[in-house]
Amino acid sequence: MRPEPSTAGDAPAIRRLADVPRVPLVRTPSPLEEMSRLRAALGAGSRLLVKRDDAIPFGFGGNKVRKLEYVAAAALAEGADTLVTVGGVQSNHARATAATAAALGLRCLIIANGTRPDRPTANALLDVLLGAEVEYIASRDEREPAMARAFDRLRAEGRRPYLVPLGASTPLGALGLVRAIGELLEQATAPDAIVHASSSAGTQAGLMAGCALHGLRTRVIGVSADDPAADIAAKVREVMLGIGTMLGSDALASARDVEVDDGRIGDGYGVPTDASREAQRLAARTEGFFVDHTYTAKALGALVAYLREGRFREDETVLFWHTGGQVGLFA
């Protein structure tokens, strides 16, 4: 059974989205694949699909590349010469930002919370190869003040910095996921539910906004890797309202309930759980793709649990949106 279209779609807003400047980093649609072997392994009746943003070619891929298409275009329009962003030492977003800067001939400064590694690996190694400057700070709480100081310092040096917030999770960045829903609909009919990893809220806001603007009733379920569900949901609503303002749409003014599952966090961000490790093995051994064990694997682990618990009907199609992060396997 396909989700019935809602009456809240906004075709003019979708057309306006096409006019928003972006740098074409995602040049072809990411693959959409059946997960028939995983379905069989779980004895699930529901049809399972995976949207493979991990397979986006640029910069080792991931959903952050979609956001950076719009953010980078804005930076270029302002005459920026340096992208400044924040994240953990193994941040996928920071790596994608560094790759974007390198491809556009810009400098990149990463404010990384954590300890400078003696021997950089995984994303930290890629940051170095991409030529990014990395400034280390002690904690996540210091990110915003450190970004502000870096911005002022670079301006004083005569440079033209452009701040890219954590995860590029702004209304502008989230347009990348709004556009991704249109890409998905060119590949298949709308799924009944989308399950994905959620943290800085931009991906979930963009997917929900895309569904609303296309008039879909698809459920978008974010699985938290760190923060409480209420905090993520509040940020999702805030970003969705911003998207509505940018695209001149009233369709997002009364956002539907935001579904965030914060029951899979375990001991915190960056710490795997038994369920995430099992999900990682299942993905590799049944479908041949990889999820990192602390972020995307927690979302896939949630999906595995939902299927075992019978939360979806047999006539429903469920899509796992693979947001990338496989580089973290080599940390």
Catalytic position from the list 30, 46, 91, 199? 91
The mean pLDDT value of the chain amounts to: 94
Six-digit token pair at 274? 């038994």
DSSP string of 240-288? Answer: HHHHHHHHT-STTTTPPPPEEE-TT-TT-TT---HHHHHHHHHIIIII-
Does 91 participate in catalysis according to the annotation? yes
**3 state SS of 18:** coil
- Model confidence at 255, pLDDT cuts 50, 70, 90, reads low
**3 state SS of 162:** strand
The pLDDT tens digits for 136-189 are 999 888 999 999 999 999 999 999 999 999 999 999 999 999 999 999 999 999
Outline where 105-161 has alpha helix (H). 122-129, 143-156
Cβ neighbours, 10 Å, residue 256: 16
Give the pTM.
0.94
Structural domains of the chain, with CATH? 11-61+170-330 (3.40.50.1100), 64-168 (3.40.50.1100)
